[in-house]
């Protein structure tokens, strides 16, 4: 007897390139189609669908050109980290010209007040007058060096210092610089705190005024006539500085032009 040949239950697999009709493949989603380049899609369409039972051979598109990895940020220098611009020194010739203007202008201004103190034997010169004369020629265009702010700032400092002295009862106590008692401690604290707050409220911020209020609060200048001379000396200094600046002593030479820095 001949053996009975039974048909195989395995499905017949056609060779890949026989061109036999096969079942249509599952359409690819749009997101998956977007992964292929036009050249790959054209090659796949020309080859035809994959035979039934064979996984579709896909060719991924080359990865797009990616940007190089970013370098870690460099640590900021100390001036930039603190909010101040970096210090770029001026050329030597510019610094020499500016130094001559500042030294000559500040020296002449304080010499005028010193001569008045010498002739009248009155306190036309006091420590906080020096910073005011210095700033008047170093940064004449700064808002804190405006004449109104200078005059109002020192006037407020004198009043706050005198108020602190009388408030804590040290008007008749000799001036102290080394052994500071509690009364002078309170007078100094009140004078400087009140000066800072009032100058900000009155738009009269002037840093040397903080020294003026400490001079009065410590008892170095306490006579009412001397307190009035403090403001008169500030007025004389402002007028002298304004006159000297008209002669060019307070004008800063133009900054040299520098090429822009190359940022890598």
> Which pLDDT tens digit goes with each residue over 18-34?
555 555 555 555 555 55
Give the C-alpha separation, 220 to 184, whole Å.
12
Whether 178 has a pLDDT exceeding 80, the answer reads: no
Q: What is the mean pLDDT of residues 197-219?
A: 93
49-108 residue pLDDT tens: 555 555 555 555 555 566 666 666 665 555 555 555 666 667 778 888 888 888 998 999
Say what the pLDDT of residue 158 is. 95
Q: Could you give the residue ranges of the DSSP H alpha helices within 15-128?
A: 30-33, 38-47, 78-81, 92-120
Single pTM value for the model: 0.61
Average pLDDT, the chain: 77
Dihedral sign, Cα of residue 52, residue 54, residue 59, residue 60:
positive
- At residue 93, the 3 state secondary structure works out as helix
75: buried, middle or exposed (CB in 10 Å: 19+, 13-18, 0-12)? exposed
Whether 252 has a pLDDT exceeding 90, the answer reads: no
Residue of higher predicted confidence among 9 and 241: 241
The H or E element spanning position 244 is helix 224-246
Q: What are phi and psi for residue 263, nearest 5 degrees?
A: -100, 115
Cα separation of the two ends of the chain: 91
Say what the pLDDT of residue 256 is. 46
């Amino acid at each position: 007897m001949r053996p009975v040949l039974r048909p195989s239950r395995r499905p017949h697999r056609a060779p890949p390139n026989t061109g036999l009709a096969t079942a249509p493949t599952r359409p690819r989603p749009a997101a998956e189609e977007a992964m292929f380049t036009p050249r790959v899609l054209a090659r796949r369409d020309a080859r035809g669908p994959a035979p039934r039972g064979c996984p579709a051979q896909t060719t991924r598109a080359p990865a797009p050109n990616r940007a190089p990895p970013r370098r870690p940020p460099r640590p900021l220098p100390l001036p930039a980290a603190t909010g101040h611009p970096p210090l770029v020194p001026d050329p030597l010739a510019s610094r020499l010209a500016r130094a001559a203007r500042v030294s000559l202008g500040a020296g002449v201004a304080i010499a005028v007040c010193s001569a008045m103190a010498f002739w009248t034997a009155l306190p036309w010169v006091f420590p906080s007058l020096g910073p005011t004369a210095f700033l008047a020629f170093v940064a004449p265009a700064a808002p804190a060096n405006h004449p109104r702010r200078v005059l109002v700032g020192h006037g407020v400092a004198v009043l706050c210092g005198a108020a602190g002295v009388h408030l804590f009862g040290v008007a008749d106590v000799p001036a102290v610089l080394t052994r500071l008692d509690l009364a002078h401690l309170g007078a100094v604290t009140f004078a400087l705190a009140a000066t800072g707050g009032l100058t900000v409220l009155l738009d009269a911020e002037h840093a040397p005024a903080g020294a003026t209020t400490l001079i009065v609060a410590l008892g170095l200048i306490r006579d009412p006539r001397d307190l009035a001379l403090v403001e008169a000396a500030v007025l004389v200094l402002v007028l002298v500085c304004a006159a000297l600046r008209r002669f060019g002593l307070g004008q800063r030479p133009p900054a040299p032009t520098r090429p822009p820095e190359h940022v890598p």
